[in-house]
Structure 1
Amino acid sequence: MRTLSSSKAWGFAAALLAGAAFAPAAGHAQAPAQKPAEVTIGFVLPLSGGSATIGNQTKMGAQVAADQINESGGIASMGGAKLKLIFADSQSKPDIGASETERLIQRENVSLLVGAYNSAVTFPASEVAERYKTPWIVTGAVKDEITERGFKYVFRPNNKATYDAREQLDAIDLLKKETGNGPKTIGLFYEGSDWGRSHVANIKKFAKERGYEVTLDESFPPNQVDFTAQLLKIRASKPDALIVVAYTPDHILFTRQYFENKINIPYGIHSVGGGSEDPSYYKAVPQKAVDYLFVQEDWQIDRLKTDKDPKVLDANARFKTLAGYDINSYGAQGVSNMYIIKDVLERAASADREKIRDALAATDITSGMPLIVGYQRIKFDDQGQNTFAHGVISENIGGERLTVWPLENRAATTKPVWPVPDWSKR
């Protein structure tokens, strides 16, 4: 039989006495654990580098929403706990995004994470979050495989690449059906990282199913300094429509050089968001260069013309004070992310990561500020993808980006221009 030494026995007895001295008296309930005064949320975003404008727009949207939530009483189920946001800069680099994710989890002890816009960063960074069993809400990144790995802690409210590609071709098909005219050939011009490759793979699949011939398949490395050689290939391949995938700096340079070369593409350029959703893009290029540009939008850009929701209008006013312009796709995603988090925390009633994960998995939102981006519902499948996500397609007509697809979102006064005029007739 093993026995305690005299010194260990005395320590054990003292511990028992101390426990008895501080144990609640019979008939008296133990005081409940104190609710946290704040919940810490980590963001991994490109705050410098090529995608910095977009990362900072997402950041401003999140700050706006957090201020609204905190000013209106915080998280009620947690005794009014406030939201504390900590931002980390990925610099659009996968290794830095992954290391910053680990830092936020290990050192900052965040309850959940949001990020990281760039698919090439989100893919490895969310894997770090999964390893540490920390919930991750995807913002912006669309690479299909992000929510196709069987992960339990990664949730994406926004479109994945499959949805973006389908919407672009759905818009082309709608305009073709309405007018009796449309492209037979499609060109593909895209940045060569995870986002571009994922999008183009889906476009090829849908194009083949719908009878479109791909006459150009041209990728380019990020941060190009000249697109002259690629523009010659575009001109030579003569696509009826051109699908472009580019982040802001590359999209600016491409648009300037395309405008200078005046290449005629009968059914226009169709950009899958990215740089073409960034206000800094439109400030950097001539208006004539973006006339009749089609953009797959993650936010209905002409919504503010008719929206009467006081919370939406307040969010826009706050965003405009910070940014100097109306809320855009990325700002709206930042707002939506925070209101999703509020909904989740109210149901979890805890800053515990496991309880937050379970609440995220049970999410089913059909109204309110989480839907500011234009979805009608947010409900995640068993892979963490919101299957109700969708965007809209706009066309730049008369200096305004006006929604042309889906038909239900198109204003009665909006008349799509299809085909687009030759440069000689503009």
Structure 2
Amino acid sequence: MKIWQHLPKIGVILTACAILFVSLFIVNQYTKDDTVKIGVLLPLTGPAESTGTKLKYAIETAEEIINGRYSSANLELGPSAGLPNMGGKKVKFIFADHRANPETARTEAIRLIKDEKVAALIGAYHSSATKTASQVAEEYKVPFLAGSSSSASLTTRGYSYFFRIAPDDNLETEFFFEYIKYLNEALNAGIKTLGIVYIDNEYGTHASEMIDKWLDERYADEGFEKVVEVRYSEDLNNMDEGIEKIKKANPDVIFQASYIEDVTQFVKRYKEENIVPKAVLNYCGGFHDPYFIDALGADGNYFSGSSASLPSALNNETANFINNLYREKSGEDIDGPALEEFASALIMADAINTSSSLEGDKITNVLRTKEFLAPYFISNTIRFNEAGQNIRTISFMVQIQNGRYEAVWPLEMQYRKPQILSK
């Protein structure tokens, strides 16, 4: 028989082999990258590097829990290794450094979506960076879950793909006013006049605006009055002028919206100039960083702020488990912003797993409709409203006493009684 008579059979065999080879190649490539990618925007260098580093540890802690097996943790994705509804795929968090720069955050968000092919974004700590990055996410229809960014404007933009866990500075400001009312009633503190000290960016500006809002709507009628406002630049060039204004006005309480480096410098100057208001209340920001205590020692005592995390207050098995894993990585206890970023990582992975999809609309639908278990918060659950804002209360007031963050309010969370600052 001539060889040409076998050519059709040979062609079929070669075609089958080629198909098998291509299939094996695709499967091999798929297996090598069998992960779900989530982009993370953080300030990993620059003025907030220390904060960004601890937030990275928190997200790495979440990644370890998601991809490992921790059946005793009482967490949604704890018992399974990876995402069970997606064939056990592991989650990989891709970190990007925005250096506290909004335009860098925008550029990095585009890179994560277009080049890294992430299914979702989380971050970015600085509200100004979160604002620009989430604009990109909205354009590309990629879900974005902010852990600790607090600017109230972030959830008033009518976005479909944006969500936030932390209370915004609107809710936080009301919380502060209610706390000083408690101090007046329980400790006869006599707090009436207040000042606001804030960094000149998205985060600080909106904190200031919320104070004016709440004074206009309620608290001016209850006898509270703003007597000084200090808006300082990120390079602190006008700090001396601000300190002089505060000293002259002598407010009973200071509401402070600052990051770790600048709040530390302000407290040092308060001490040098003998500026001693009865309370200093810090918005979610630098005050919560353990560096605050390390840098200031006893001078940091009795400063206060809202927090979502405190081992003495959240004394349950799940919170302790998370804190122990985090401490192995960071060498310190987890704080409020770090726990909020941890939650953003865990909840986004949960939403992807529940949706069984990498499609933005399907993931977003889960974020909008599911109540997420969060036993590491006082709320025990997280749920988002139509604007994307978490509606479960996760914060309480903490005060530094004897070099430790202690829960002081509300009463059901009180671990230590609050102390009034005095000269």
- Give yes or no for TM over 0.5: yes
1:158 aligns with 2:166: yes
What amino acid maps onto 1:298 in structure 2? A
Residue 220 of structure 1, aligned match among 209, 232, 242: 232
Shift of residue 385, structure 1, vs aligned partner: 1.0
Contact 1:245 1:273 in 2 (8 A): yes
Q: Which residue of 1 aligns with 2:309?
A: 299
1:270 aligns with 2:281: yes
Q: Which residue of 2 aligns with 1:415?
A: 417
Shift of residue 117, structure 1, vs aligned partner: 0.7
Q: Which residue of 1 aligns with 2:402?
A: 398
Partners in 1 of 2:401 and 2:412 — Cα distance? 19
Partners in 2 of 1:263 and 1:144 — Cα distance? 30
Shift of residue 250, structure 1, vs aligned partner: 0.7
Q: Deviations over 1:267-289 (max 9, x none)?
A: 2211113110111222222x221
Contact 1:172 1:182 in 2 (8 A): no
Partners in 2 of 1:161 and 1:296 — Cα distance? 11
SS of the aligned residue for 1:113 comes to: strand
Deviates more, 1:83-92 or 1:50-59: 50-59
Q: Which residue of 2 aligns with 1:348?
A: 355
What amino acid maps onto 1:187 in structure 2? G
What amino acid maps onto 1:272 in structure 2? Y
Partners in 2 of 1:51 and 1:375 — Cα distance? 29
Residue 210 of structure 1, aligned match among 206, 219, 229: 219
What amino acid maps onto 1:316 in structure 2? N
Partners in 1 of 2:293 and 2:403 — Cα distance? 10
Deviates more, 1:327-336 or 1:52-61: 327-336
Contact 2:195 2:254 in 1 (8 A): yes
Q: Which residue of 2 aligns with 1:385?
A: 389
Residue 48 of structure 1, aligned match among 45, 50, 60: 45
What amino acid maps onto 1:210 in structure 2? Y
Q: Which residue of 2 aligns with 1:29?
A: none
Partners in 1 of 2:418 and 2:290 — Cα distance? 22
Compute the TM-score of the two structures, normalised by the length of structure 1. Answer: 0.85
Q: Deviations over 1:200-235 (max 9, x none)?
A: 111122234213111001100113157332212111
Q: Which residue of 2 aligns with 1:364?
A: 371
Contact 2:106 2:133 in 1 (8 A): yes
CA distance change for structure 1 residues 273 and 386 in 2, over 3 Å: closer, same or farther?
closer
Q: Which residue of 2 aligns with 1:334?
A: 341
Shift of residue 301, structure 1, vs aligned partner: 5.4
Q: Which residue of 1 aligns with 2:259?
A: 247
Shift of residue 316, structure 1, vs aligned partner: 1.8
What are the equivalent positions in structure 2 for 1:231-242 lying under 5 Å apart?
A: 231-242=243-254
Partners in 2 of 1:299 and 1:326 — Cα distance? 9
> Where do 5+ consecutive residues of structure 1 fail to align?
1-17, 23-33
Partners in 2 of 1:295 and 1:268 — Cα distance? 10
RMSD over equivalenced CA pairs, Å: 2.0
Partners in 2 of 1:179 and 1:284 — Cα distance? 29
Partners in 2 of 1:217 and 1:128 — Cα distance? 33
Deviates more, 1:338-347 or 1:61-70: 338-347
Contact 1:196 1:245 in 2 (8 A): yes
Contact 2:311 2:319 in 1 (8 A): no
Percent identical pairs in the alignment equals 26
SS of the aligned residue for 1:87 comes to: strand
> Where do 5+ consecutive residues of structure 2 fail to align?
1-14, 20-29, 70-80
Deviates more, 1:87-96 or 1:270-279: 270-279
Q: Which residue of 1 aligns with 2:181?
A: 173
SS of the aligned residue for 1:377 comes to: strand
Runs of 4+ in 1 over 6 A off after TM superposition: none
Shift of residue 331, structure 1, vs aligned partner: 2.4
Residue 67 of structure 1, aligned match among 50, 64, 69: 64
Shift of residue 176, structure 1, vs aligned partner: 1.4
SS of the aligned residue for 2:117 comes to: coil
CA distance change for structure 1 residues 371 and 153 in 2, over 3 Å: closer, same or farther?
farther
Q: Which residue of 2 aligns with 1:88?
A: 96
Contact 1:300 1:392 in 2 (8 A): no
SS of the aligned residue for 1:382 comes to: coil
Shift of residue 93, structure 1, vs aligned partner: 0.4
Partners in 2 of 1:86 and 1:227 — Cα distance? 37
Partners in 1 of 2:356 and 2:146 — Cα distance? 22
